Amino acid sequence: MAQEGMFRDEALLRVQGGKGGDGCSSFHREKYVTQGGPDGGDGGKGGAVILRSVVHENSLFRVARQRQVAADNGMPGGGNNRSGRSGEDNVVLVPVGTQVRDAEHGNLLADLALPDQSVVAAAGGRGGKGNARFAGPTDQTPRRFTRGEDGELRELRLELKLVADIGLIGLPNAGKSTLISRLTAARPKVASYPFTTLDPNLGIMLTGGEPETLVLADIPGLIEGASSGRGLGLQFLRHVERTRLLLHLVDCSALAEDPQASCDAVAAELEEYEEDLGDRPRLLVATKVEDPEAEERARVLYAACGPAAMEAPPIMISSVTGQGLDVLRRVLLQTFHSLGGHPA
């Protein structure tokens, strides 16, 4: 059974704007006033459903549980030219990085890529007009009024693409979860079996420089055929799209399969999913380098795959012993600076 806070990066949502209040048909009634004129007020506008991006949400789980959201209806107008109260807007909080699409046609309606961005997902209906609106020289006692309009009804598909500075990619068991737990305060589940990471994890790394922090995303392991929908591929490859720098981790321990083949497999899946991803700035990192045999495998890997990565010295690390992590932090910051830092 799904638990509160469970990661979800897709959700279907039915949104309904509030109905506008009806206009009022009324005539002024007062002692000693024999011919009071029309004084029916307008109905209030229906409330809107608004999506707003916030940093403290990191999943669409809450939205997926709601399934449908409606705003308040406007209140009807009253006598003595009293307008009805407008309906309250219903604000739905979504994670930064949420894309809003029309569920039927798939067209993009909004991309909430920055904090505190908002979009009206379903507008409220206009309030009806009271009979005071229709008074004129030819009709001084109109009884005519209009009904409030229905609010907008929409079926939406929400897709979350994590917003991170650096994305950690690699085959299952490449050491991504362990590394992010050493570089940041994130505490992902770590174990020695494939697909330990079923949900992307975000962590903030303190750099000791400028910028002061970098956001790292631990993307679940890719397998061959991921770009065609095998394994967890398509579900999580979308989270790589927004990262500015990819950190490609390759297991070089004696127990791992051919590091070069592993490196080539992930690179091929990135390019197959989206051609631009194959050209995304990428740093190659040899992981689990804890003995001379692993170090030699790492050197062979760099000799074969290094030119495809960015210009950087060979990075060999062990997240367990801490070897090479200081070098990695320094190279990450230098590389990020060379890319122009955070976008404006």
Residue 86 lies in a domain: yes
Of 144, 160, 176, the residue at which a domain comes to its end is 160
Is 113 inside a domain boundary? yes
For a pLDDT cut of 90, what percent of the chain falls above it?
Answer: 43
Kindly tell me if the per-residue pLDDT of 94 is higher than 90.
yes
One DSSP character per residue, 74-128 reads PPPPBTTTBPPPPPPPEEEEEETTEEEEETTT--EEEEE-STT-EEEEEPPPPPP
Q: Does one domain contain both 179 and 328?
A: yes
Q: Do 154 and 195 sit in the same domain of this protein?
A: no
Highest mean pLDDT among 30-44, 75-89, 200-214, 306-320: 75-89
Confidence category of residue 113, pLDDT binned at 50, 70, 90: confident
Residue 31 pLDDT class (50, 70, 90 cuts): confident
State which residues form the domain around 302.
166-338
Residues 39 and 57 in one domain: yes
Residue 93 pLDDT class (50, 70, 90 cuts): very high
Lowest average pLDDT, out of 24-38, 105-119, 125-139, goes to 24-38
CATH number of the domain enclosing 125:
2.70.210.12
Residue 258 is part of a domain; what is its CATH number?
Answer: 3.40.50.300
Both 205 and 146 in a single domain?
Answer: no
Domain boundary residue, one of 120, 143, 160: 160
Residue 343 domain flag: no
- Domain-terminating residue out of 116, 137, 160: 160
Q: What is the pLDDT of residues 242-277, one digit of tens each?
A: 788 888 999 999 888 889 888 888 888 777 766 566
Categorize the per-residue pLDDT at 222 as very low, low, confident or very high, splitting at 50, 70 and 90. low
Angle at 176 between CA 271 and CA 161, to 5 degrees: 55
Same domain, 192 and 304: yes
What's the CA gap between 121 and 137, in Å, rounded?
42
Do 100 and 191 reside in the same domain of the chain?
A: no
Q: Is the pTM of this model over 0.85?
A: no
How many structural domains compose the chain? 2
**What is the Cα–Cα distance from 288 to 104, expressed in whole angstroms?**
47
Looking at residue 275, what is its pLDDT? 59
Is the distance from CB of 8 to CB of 57 less than 8 angstroms?
no
User: Do the beta carbons of residue 240 and residue 270 sit within 8 Å?
Assistant: yes
Average per-residue pLDDT for the chain: 82
Q: What is the pLDDT of residue 42?
A: 97
